[in-house]
A and B are shown apart, each in its own frame.
Chain A
Amino acid sequence: NAGVTQTPKFQVLKTGQSMTLQCAQDMNHEYMSWYRQDPGMGLRLIHYSVGAGITDQGEVPNGYNVSRSTTEDFPLRLLSAAPSQTSVYFCASRRRQAGDGYTFGSGTRLTVV
């Protein structure tokens, strides 16, 4: 199993550009989430999904869109990049069972100039 795979690992964008961060898992996990991590702020939830076709907003959803057309994939779209979106982005997944923890991808470091 590859686990949770995120691409790209690094990305530099210009203000106003759009892009998609990819996330794929091969563990048949129902739940998937996107977090951003900024110094001193911990991990903040952007969007999450409980299954294909179902998504919801987290704490900091503005400027981001998600969709979940399959169980495996959960891409995160930046609509019009801003310097405030410079961050490290983590995708995570877990099974529906209440006793399971999240498995995280290795992250995408995004810089918006």
Chain B
Amino acid sequence: QQPVQSPQAVILREGEDAVINCSSSKALYSVHWYRQKHGEAPVFLMILLKGGEQKGHEKISASFNEKKQQSSLYLTASQLSYSGTYFCGTVNSGGSNYKLTFGKGTLLTVNP
């Protein structure tokens, strides 16, 4: 079952912040985040394993609330290069750690 992402789309001005949410109805083992630019393949950003950790990657960070089965991606001081579609992917607990199911994506547009 696909995780649910929100919002579906967001438009920012350069320098603004954004939060993208990902939630699942099942217990999670891990959450992946990817970014895809138009016409290109998805690119891995980060992975969060169960344990409620928070990770950072330049001005992009993420958190994982295992109890709520939710993850959030935080983009701060957005740059034009952040534009693209962001996907979360989830791996359920109790199963294999390789079956990755993606949400439908969040389209992020950063304008000058």
Interface residues of A (CB under 8 A from B): 31, 33, 35, 40-45, 48, 50, 56, 58-59, 90, 94, 96, 98-107
Contacts and interface: CB of A to CB of B under 8 A. Distances in A.
Interface of B: 2, 29-30, 32, 34, 40-47, 49, 87, 89, 96-105
B104 A40 contact: yes
A107 B41 contact: yes
Contacts of A102: 32, 34, 42, 44, 100
A15 to B, nearest CB: 26
B32 A101 contact: yes
A70 B88 CA distance: 29
Given A42-B2, A90-B42, A104-B43, A99 B100 contact: no
Contacts of A99: 47, 49
Contacts of A44: 2, 102
